[in-house]
A and B are shown apart, each in its own frame.
Chain A
Amino acid sequence: MKSKFHPDENGYFGQFGGAFIPELLYPNVKELADNYIQIIESEEFQTEYKSLLKDYVGRPTPLYLAKRLSEKYGAHVYLKREDLCHTGAHKINNTVGQILIAKKLGKTKIIAETGAGQHGVATATVCALMGLECTVFMGEKDIVRQAPNVTRMKMLGAKVVPATSGSKTLKDATNEAIRYWIQHPETFYLIGSVVGPAPHPDMVARLQAIISEEIKWQLKEKTGKENPDTIIACVGGGSNAAGAFYHYLDDEDVELIAVEAAGLGVNSGESAATSQLGEVGIIHGSKTILMQDEYGQIVEPYSISAGLDYPGVGPLHAFLYEIGRAKFMSATDQEALDAAFELTKIEGIIPALETAHALAVLPKIKFKKDQVVVVNLSGRGDKDLEIYTKYLED
């Protein structure tokens, strides 16, 4: 079935997407574009992917009816527990899939970028599992604020390379990964989100689609209906949101809410709310919405959450925003922190700071009676304890 949410032959979702890459990367990207769908749809891939997701990652992840949260907000709030995945976030769905694609293409060296470190850990993990060489680029600033994940990556045998240019965060880690890729075209760039040149955004979305595939049957088991009224997910680049939305994109009666990081406030000058502050442009090989100045220089974003601290958004999300298929909301640092502590106190679940942004919009929405809401609980908060400790002390 051809959906308008599948990219066209040049990798476009509406006006967004494409592959704006230096000629140096053309053979690499073309090889992937020519093969990824065939590989993903092959029985061999599906068998191995599903088996690893089940026995190694721990899928299906539970769809949990959060009773006290539901009472508080007057809706049926279900949490899709991606935080229970091996390595602590949804990121590993994608890395398991891509490592199988890399192997199929005969690649032995893997590179990746990481913001919060979750994708870096998930990549280092599958590289350890498969015995492949792994190099992870991480912003110098993020190396400091997500130190436990740096240790994890190193334990897993990955080389962690600090990105020291620009804002020293996710954007710059991605630049450095792409530069390394240009210089080492034999490597496989295991990208962590639905960003980058086509076909990366579509490939990652397909690999994260397992999230909504499971929500469908789990919700049917619990409520008798496959479709919730609303799905809420946080968006930096947008991979967990893409996965949670994927199988519902064509079901227009399901409301999709993407939550961006507002930092200190959307108009404070310290924000990462791309859809509100951005305009059409090109970042990391893809035409999308991004934060830039009047001369097209990319603006350094800000969020307390290293995983949402990104000046762009994946091209699929730019398309969803433009046509109004998804509603874009935002949460500030403070609202996210409050939401993280609330979930911890009333449900006994410590969410990642990224995920806390999705939870933070619950008080902002007026729910109708019996509204079924799924919040994608994309990751757990172990890596954010330093920031949570500070919050406790204040």
Chain B
Amino acid sequence: MNSIQELFQKKGENLLSIYFTCGYPKLNDTTKVISALEKSGVDFIEVGLPYSDPLADGPTIQDSSQKALENGVNLDIIFEQLMMIKDTNKTPLVLMGYLNQMLKYGEDKFCKKVVECGIDTLILPDLPMVEFENHYQYLFDKYGITNVFLITPHTSDERIRKIDSYSKAFIYVVASASITGAKGDISNNQIAYFERIKNMNLQSKLIIGFGISDKQTFTTACKYANGTIIGSAFIKYLGKKGTKKVDDFISPILN
């Protein structure tokens, strides 16, 4: 069973996941951030691989990626960092990156390393379903890796059903037609969209992301899904306060 599926068996609602960028704000902060998030009671962690051209990300995550790359982080360093905490960390990790990173590293080598680090779930926002079907499903199955697909307000029901059939961990529900970045409240249109998805009674668990930033948006979004992902708001906070104050960001959301 996939690590995220196991988590869902134990806890089915109000899950909080936090995205962070590896090697940010400092090169060796990767493990510190993961430990701090685990201590704060986050349910699972989205580990971001910094990329030079992150098309699906807004300015905050883009800036953090650029900073992390300037800090000298790279995939080998990240895999080493993740290996260091493999035995102590009990919070499931999901790896988020761009397809070219996997392609250049070597697809088999990349998958092998991911699994060695105890990770079995990937989010690759620029991997479209047709490419997954034609080129990656077999590879991921071979390594026991699950791919997370994104759906948006513009994704058709038919396509959502197909995505549902491929999803073993969860479906990432993009809250608005948007790139990542906190934007404040959740609108009525968004709620109508969340309800539409919820009423489709999909077999997959649903996690809402993009634009979730605080207790209020977290609570609202959790009414329509199994949980949410917070990214940019946390990155902004981390950039200002560093790794020592992580709990001050998380605990107001959870309590």
Which residues of A248-278 are within 8 A (CB) of B? Answer: none
> For residue A300, which residue of chain B has the nearest CB?
B52
Residues on the A chain within 8 Å of B154, using CB: 24, 26-27, 185
Which of these, B55, B100, B179, contacts A281 with CB under 8 Å? B100
Residues on the A chain within 8 Å of B30, using CB: none
Q: Roughly how many angstroms separate A280 CA and B75 CA in the complex, as a whole number?
A: 18
Residues on the B chain within 8 Å of A20, using CB: 99, 126-128, 131
> For residue B78, which residue of chain A has the nearest CB?
A295
Q: Roughly how many angstroms separate A23 CA and B171 CA in the complex, as a whole number?
A: 12
> For residue A24, which residue of chain B has the nearest CB?
B152
> For residue A11, which residue of chain B has the nearest CB?
B130
Q: Are A297 and B103 in contact (CB under 8 A)?
A: no
Q: Count residues of A near B (Cβ-Cβ below 8 Å).
A: 33
Q: Are A297 and B69 in contact (CB under 8 A)?
A: yes
> For residue B76, which residue of chain A has the nearest CB?
A295
Which of these, B75, B98, B174, contacts A23 with CB under 8 Å? B174
Q: Roughly how many angstroms separate A26 CA and B98 CA in the complex, as a whole number?
A: 17
In the complex, per-residue mask of B108-138: 1 if CB is within 8 Å of any chain A CB, else 0: 0000000000000000011110110010000
- Interface flag for B189 (CB, 8 Å): no
- Interface flag for B149 (CB, 8 Å): yes
Which residues of B73-97 are within 8 A (CB) of A? Answer: 74-76
Which residues of A23-56 are within 8 A (CB) of B? Answer: 23-24, 26-27
Residues on the A chain within 8 Å of B104, using CB: 279, 281, 292, 294-296
In the complex, per-residue mask of B51-66: 1 if CB is within 8 Å of any chain A CB, else 0: 1110110100010001
Assess A295 versus B56: contact at CB under 8 Å? Given A165-B66, A179-B179.
no
Q: Are B52 and A178 in contact (CB under 8 A)?
A: no
Q: Are B128 and A19 in contact (CB under 8 A)?
A: yes
- Interface flag for A175 (CB, 8 Å): yes
Q: Shortest beta-carbon distance, B22 to chain A, in Å?
A: 12
Q: Are B128 and A21 in contact (CB under 8 A)?
A: yes
Q: Are A23 and B103 in contact (CB under 8 A)?
A: no
- Interface flag for B190 (CB, 8 Å): no
- Interface flag for B151 (CB, 8 Å): yes
- Interface flag for B143 (CB, 8 Å): no
Which of these, A165, A175, A182, A297, contacts B177 with CB under 8 Å? A182
Q: Shortest beta-carbon distance, B238 to chain A, in Å?
A: 20
Q: Roughly how many angstroms separate A34 CA and B120 CA in the complex, as a whole number?
A: 36
In the complex, per-residue mask of B16-42: 1 if CB is within 8 Å of any chain A CB, else 0: 000000000000000000000000000
Residues on the A chain within 8 Å of B55, using CB: 22, 175, 178-179, 182, 284-285
- Interface flag for B167 (CB, 8 Å): no
Q: Which residues of B contact A (CB under 8 A)?
A: 51-53, 55-56, 58, 62, 66, 69, 74-76, 98-105, 125-128, 130-131, 134, 149-152, 154-156, 159, 174, 177-179
